[in-house]
Structure 1
Amino acid sequence: MEHSWVDKETAETNLGDARLNRRLGAMLEALEQRPGQSLPTAFQDWSNTKAAYRFLSNENVSEDKILEGHFAASALRIQATEGPILILQDTTEFNFKRADPDKIGFTKSSTGRK
């Protein structure tokens, strides 16, 4: 039986309760289906959304514990290769919202010629 990416990515995650581990997997699968969406949109109904909020507020759940499985899976992927490992990171953030967009005004005119 082939394991899903979620199973592989969370195999070493231990939140102290099998139900919490399963909930993390279910949440990751839902978020995969709707990337970038809010939790209510990603989870589609109130019961799943409420379960996600309960999961995130559980004292046994922390960022470190959630990422533990991901770090272990990443280490296995690195060990499985002999070639160079590229680690890409982009922490760039853009915010184009303005309190008063009219204050920006006309910023530049370009005719495509120099």
Structure 2
Amino acid sequence: MTMLNRFSPSALPQTALKNPEIRLLDHLVKDRGGDRSRRGTLSHHIVKVARLGGYLARAADPPPGNTVIWRGLSRLTDIDLVYGYAVSLLQERSPGANSFHCSRHQEI
């Protein structure tokens, strides 16, 4: 993922992430000011993954590396799993209570 980001930063985020993961990232990691034209790119979403892993994304910082992206992906997976568990509990109690769709779970 790191090399793909460095080779083709303006690619679509679907190159490396699934649509539900992109929506979850957009919900969890708020956009900073910056360049609005980059918001739909792979580079923008890789930085969001890296920010979950502890990357600070300051102006003078180098691009995120493998370790911080791995940490971010690990955290994103954990959040996705917990979300899926919570949705299944809510679904048992009150069907139709939530309409957010996540990568491993059916839309409710």
Instruction: Give me the TM-score of the superposition, normalised by structure 1.
Output: 0.30
Which fold has the larger relative contact order, with Cα–Cα distance below 8 Å and residues 6 or more apart in sequence? 1
Rg (Cα) greater in structure: 1
State the TM-score, normalizing by the size of structure 2: 0.31
Higher relative helix content:
2
